[in-house]
Amino acid sequence: MAPFPPQRAAARLMGIHFVAVVLLLAIGPTTVCSTGRLQRRILLQDCTPDSEMGTRCTNISRAQVSPAAGPVARVSTEMTLRLLVMVVSYTASSSCGARASADVADVRAAYTNELGYMNFLRNCSYGQVTYSNVTVISTPVPCTQSLELCNTINIAVAAKESAESQYGSGFTSSYSRYAYVLPYGLNLICGWMGLGEPPPGTQTWYIPEEDGIFNKGTVLQESLHNLGLRYHGWRSNQEYQDNSTSMGMGKSCPSAPELWRLGWASPLAQLNSSTLPPKTFKTYTLPATYATSQGNMLRIQPDWLSKRNCTKNLYLALRMRGGGDRDLLGEFDGKVSYSASSNIQERQFKRPLDAKNVKRQLICESHLGLPKQKLLLYRRHAYLMDQIPHILATMRQS
């Protein structure tokens, strides 16, 4: 199976970040932080707005307070991975010279230390996908012209043959995932920092430098290609520019639509024409996505639009530093992100998702309208149980 190239390095050469035309909401200071303290209650209500002051309720038809979900909630089938990491070096031959590779101990530490890749995947998946075993070995192979030209399939075959010759026949078959760390000096020839097979792939490849095997974002991105994410993070019509997720150029967990597509998280509410009546507010308190997998986003399906215009589902999620998002960039910390994803491709999970159909912006106004979706969004702060919850109100205009 041909690998799927993320080419994370190319994104850093693009240079310019375009400011989004539509900015929807900004979340202010919060007391939920990386210490693991959670919002303890979620407030839900339906509100009929005042005709003169749209943010004031004249009637509340439903109101309830419920406990916030705790961390490590599971919404999908658990998966346990056995990973074999092969650090590939070339020995000199009549075809080409020797090439050294990364230090095996350093690669092992990157996976297994307290804040390593094993911990990162477990946190981002809320404990649903874990490594039961990570083995890192050195696999020297004779240099050939094909290997020098970065033929990834041949590199994989040669590395597995080297592993079998050292540890016995059938050694590699006891693992369910395989990673290959390439030798030094192939960066320009390969043209990428990491590669990952699309689902149901089991193999990933990395360069031996800081942007490759020693970059947690690169390693998670390639692993997520194996697990079902074929696309990269887009922002302002530029691929890789969503730095809030490892699927872009970030070092943090997947974004809301990515979590939903992976089956790792569930929405607090799914809004459509039946659950969001015209001219009625609904308010929700969003927990940070790192804190819980249950009810950590709003998913809006604007099916009140015509079929021609109803092509995107909307996702709203609060991102904060903590857990798997401990390295979330300050630009996204404590803010709600708005994402639009193709609803046609979401319904066809076996169909590759076009990267351009998953776009992200930060929401940076206290209230704003989405005229194409006929929606109004508001934000406010209210003291509740000694914390400052983030209340997001949505109103369907027609």
Residue 387 is predicted with a pLDDT of 32
Residue 12 predicted with pLDDT over 50: no
Domains and CATH numbers, the chain: 41-70+257-396 (no CATH), 77-228 (3.40.390)
- Using one digit for the tens of pLDDT, what is the confidence trace for 216-244? 999 999 999 999 888 777 776 767 668 89
Residue 63 is predicted with a pLDDT of 39
Give the separation between CA 90 and CA 17, rounded to whole angstroms: 40
Distance between first and last Cα of the chain: 48
Residue 54 is predicted with a pLDDT of 44
Q: Ranked by mean pLDDT, which of 16-20, 123-127, 346-350 comes out on top?
A: 123-127
Residue 360 predicted with pLDDT over 90: no
Confidence of residue 385 (pLDDT cuts 50, 70, 90): very low
| Least confidently predicted of 54-58, 82-86, 290-294, 315-319 | 54-58
Contact between 40 and 68 under an 8 Å Cβ cutoff? The reply is: yes
Residue 213 is predicted with a pLDDT of 99
Residue 8 is predicted with a pLDDT of 52
Residue 388 predicted with pLDDT over 50: no
Task: Please give the model's pTM, rounded to 2 decimal places.
Answer: 0.75
Which has more pLDDT, 390 or 147?
147
Over range 253-276, report the average pLDDT.
91
Over range 72-79, report the average pLDDT.
57
| Least confidently predicted of 108-112, 326-330, 342-346 | 342-346
With a pLDDT cut of 90, the percent of the chain lying above it is 48
Mean pLDDT of the chain: 75
**Helix extents (H) in the chain:** 8-11, 104-112, 117-124, 145-148, 152-167, 187-190, 216-227, 256-262, 343-347
Residue 308 predicted with pLDDT over 70: no
Over range 74-84, report the average pLDDT.
79
Neighbours of 24 (CB within 10 A): 25
